[in-house]
């Protein structure tokens, strides 16, 4: 089946994420934009996924729990999971393996955990942006051990991407998918990096603000509209 997706979205829990990116606002905006499935991928945490998934169930939009991991090389990678339990297990692992410095809310914004009614139920005090101890070279296998999938984010960007940092996607990393911010760059990148001809290619908005969320234009064809089937279509 054909489903429209955005598998790279941030909530008000992410540093520099707008406070308007509440679980209800971002999920309902995705529905208005015509999307069938989204993933919530806050920086180095999955703590707002429960609320977003609950909102999704209410309005009939599939929300996949995820995270945007910052590796030890300062490379961003999207991590997606079939269940909330698996995402939160990975969250706990990352929390134990990330550099912790105090968040300065006046610079980076608050990092707010919300429930499905957009009520504040917590706040993460340590800044979620810094690198973790997890290398991009084994990120795929580590996430797979927790039951999820992982792939490099916005590889076409000039910073925080695997190509900007390492210059190449090493086949030994095991990735089956790569994400572009701008799909129009795909052919040029394929000419420079032939490994992209062997990978699934997705496009994500990486939206931190409601106005940066994109209308339905990119699609996948999973067997069914479930988190398990979407992940299987990418791995």
Range of the domain at 159: 3-234
pLDDT at position 16? 87
Q: CA–CA distance from 227 to each of 139, 151, 176, 234 (Å)?
A: 20, 16, 17, 11
pLDDT band, very low/low/confident/very high, at 103 (cuts 50, 70, 90)? very high
Tell me the pLDDT tens digit for each residue of 38-56: 999 999 999 999 999 999 9
Per-residue pLDDT at 17: 86
Separation between Cα atoms, residue 196 and residue 194, nearest integer Å: 5
- C-alpha distances in Å from residue 209, one per residue of 23, 157, 179: 12, 19, 19
CATH number where 43 lies: 3.20.20.140
pLDDT digits (tens, 9 = 90+) for 8-24: 999 999 998 899 999 99
Domain count, the chain: 1
For residue range 117-131, list pLDDT tens digits in order. Answer: 999 999 999 999 999
- Tell me the average pLDDT across 135-143: 98
């Amino acid at each position: 089946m054909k489903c429209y997706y955005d598998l790279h979205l941030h909530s008000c829990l992410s540093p520099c994420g707008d406070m308007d990116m509440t679980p209800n606002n971002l999920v309902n905006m995705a529905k208005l934009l015509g999307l069938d499935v989204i993933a919530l991928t806050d920086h180095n945490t999955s703590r707002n996924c429960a609320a977003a998934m609950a909102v999704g169930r209410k309005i009939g939009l599939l929300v996949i729990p995820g995270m945007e991991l910052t590796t030890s090389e300062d490379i961003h990678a999207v991590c997606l999971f079939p269940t909330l339990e698996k995402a939160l297990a990975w969250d706990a692992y990352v929390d134990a393996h990330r550099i912790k410095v105090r968040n300065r809310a006046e610079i980076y914004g608050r990092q707010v955990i919300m429930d499905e009614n957009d009520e504040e139920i917590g706040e993460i005090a340590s800044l979620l942006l810094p690198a973790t101890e997890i290398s991009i070279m084994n990120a795929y296998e580590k996430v797979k051990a927790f039951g999820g999938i992982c792939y490099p984010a916005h590889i076409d960007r000039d910073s925080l991407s695997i190509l900007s940092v390492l210059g190449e996607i090493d086949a030994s990393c095991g990735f089956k998918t790569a994400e572009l911010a701008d799909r129009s760059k795909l052919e040029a990148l394929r000419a420079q990096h032939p490994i992209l001809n062997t990978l699934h290619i997705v496009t994500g908005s990486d939206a931190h603000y409601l106005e940066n969320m994109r209308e339905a234009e990119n699609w996948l064809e999973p067997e069914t509209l479930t988190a398990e089937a979407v992940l299987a279509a990418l791995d």
